[in-house]
Amino acid sequence: MEKRELLYEGKAKKLYATEDPDILWVEYMNQATAGNGAKKEQIAGKGQLNNTITSLIFKLLRKKGIASHFVKRLSNTDQLVRKMSMFPLEIVMRNVAAGSFAKRYGIKEGTELSTPVLEFFYKSDPLNDPFINNDDILSLQLANWEQLEIISAKAREINQALRSMFTAIDVKLVDFKIEMGTTSDGMILLADEITPDTCRLWDTRNAGVANEKSEGVSIEHLDKDIFRRDLGSIIPAYEEILDRLTTLDESQ
């Protein structure tokens, strides 16, 4: 497969055309951003870790019957994916209160939610990705009713699969963001990435070890909150996630 012209440069990835109109070449970059680009840093090794982690997660999800745009990993930082027409939505699933949810409702981070929560945010840099509800999505024609039903059902199914995957490696899946799109033949598929950049992952293996202690809660973050909250380097945490997922993959 040949890497052709640059089609799009995002905050963490570059997308290139290939000779196949249905296949894109994705390059994972070392750039880390937070607060819609307000905080920005180059972190050596991050692109490689995220490319490898998301490839492994998409592979493990496929084994559980969940399809995605992922085709194959090409190198440390590069992978091939199916070309999709993306819904301009960030699809967030939550199992434990944290981040913007904890802030919005004034509840302590770490509070278990009685039932998983599905939320949508409208992908728009100028608007700072605002929260959006189902009626807004339909009236703005970001997705139709049937698509929204499929997206919601898939998001909940992906949450169940990811939860059991992370529980098996002693990691609590607090929340995560995914994106979906439509293939040229009209199928709705999971796309983009699933990495510690897009999930909140709390370690449950090493009791007493914590990189954040606040409001009486001790958390060992293995995710991008380490960068967002200035808690140290993300690299050892991302390596830990990769090591554990590799062990899980080898055991299956």
Nearest-approach distance from CB 201 to ligand C5P, in angstroms: 8
**Closer to ligand C5P by Cβ: residue 36 or 184:** 36
Q: With CB under 6 A as the contact rule, which of the stretches 92-100, 137-145, 149-157, 239-247 interacts with ligand C5P?
A: 92-100
Tell me the two tokens of residue 218. Answer: 């001790």
**Closer to ligand C5P by Cβ: residue 16 or 122:** 122
**Closer to ligand C5P by Cβ: residue 3 or 163:** 163
**Residue from 100, 147, 183, 211 in contact with ligand C5P (CB under 6 A):** 100
Q: Does residue 70 belong to the site contacting ligand C5P (CB under 6 A)?
A: no
Q: Does residue 166 belong to the site contacting ligand C5P (CB under 6 A)?
A: no
Q: With CB under 6 A as the contact rule, which of the stretches 109-117, 143-151, 175-183, 210-218 interacts with ligand C5P?
A: 175-183
Contact 191, 67 (CB under 8 A): no
**Closer to ligand C5P by Cβ: residue 73 or 224:** 224
Pairwise CA distance, residues 36 & 126, whole Å: 9
Pairwise CA distance, residues 189 & 70, whole Å: 10
- Residue with the shortest CB distance to ligand C5P: 99
Residues 104-163 that bind ligand C5P (CB under 6 A): 129
**Residue from 14, 177, 221, 244 in contact with ligand C5P (CB under 6 A):** 177
Residues 9-48 that bind ligand C5P (CB under 6 A): none
Q: With CB under 6 A as the contact rule, which of the stretches 59-67, 154-162, 180-188, 194-202 interacts with ligand C5P?
A: 194-202
217: left (phi over 0), alpha (psi -120 to 50) or beta: beta
Q: Does residue 92 belong to the site contacting ligand C5P (CB under 6 A)?
A: yes
Q: Applying CB under 6 A, what is the total number of residues that bind ligand C5P? A: 14
Pairwise CA distance, residues 161 & 222, whole Å: 19
Tokens 């590069």 belong to 78
User: Other CB atoms closer than 10 Å to residue 21's CB: what's the count?
Assistant: 9
Pairwise CA distance, residues 234 & 35, whole Å: 17
Pairwise CA distance, residues 77 & 52, whole Å: 8
Pairwise CA distance, residues 65 & 62, whole Å: 5
Single-letter residue type at 233: S
Residues 197-236 that bind ligand C5P (CB under 6 A): 198-200, 224
Pairwise CA distance, residues 109 & 13, whole Å: 30
Contact 134, 144 (CB under 8 A): no
Contacting positions for ligand C5P (CB under 6 A): 90, 92, 98-101, 129, 175-177, 198-200, 224
